[in-house]
Amino acid sequence: MKARLELRYSPAHVNKPILSKAILESGVPINILNARLTATEGIMTVEVNADENVVSKIIGILRSNNVEVKEIPRYVEINRDKCIDCGACTAVCPTDALTLGLERKLVLEEEKCILCGNCLKSCPVRAVVLYK
């Protein structure tokens, strides 16, 4: 399965190589999609492509190292009632997760999305909803 996790580090743990530890202990590569550091915490969105029990193991390692872990079930959604299929979002999407498909309708391939948020700003009718 492909799992997306939101990790929150408190300042006390932000300088520890916790993610590397999780990678080494689980033996599974973890892809960092997005990372931000604020004055009060570090927030990271990562993707793990592994069996469910391996994903649980990784979550366990992270939690035991004081990282807050939240699974992100669905990350981007297009509000079809609002979307006008202009395609403004497609040009600013770095991974081609958003493209115009059949009959020039907007197609979203969620697994390609890296949660950069470019599409939110580019949408003139605010039809993109991003969870992160």
Applying CB under 8 A, which part among 37-45, 61-69, 71-79, 116-124 lies near other proteins?
116-124
Among 118, 129, 130, 132, binds other proteins (CB under 8 A): 118
State yes or no: residue 125 binds other proteins (CB under 8 A).
Answer: yes
CA dihedral 119, 114, 55, 60 (to 10 degrees): -80
**Contact by Cβ (8 Å): 89, 123:** yes
Q: How far is the CB of 115 from other proteins (least distance, A)?
A: 17
Binding residues among 27-86 for other proteins as defined by CB under 8 A: 84-86
3-state class (DSSP) for residue 80: coil
End-to-end CA distance of the chain: 19
User: Is 114 one of the binding residues for other proteins (CB under 8 A)?
Assistant: no
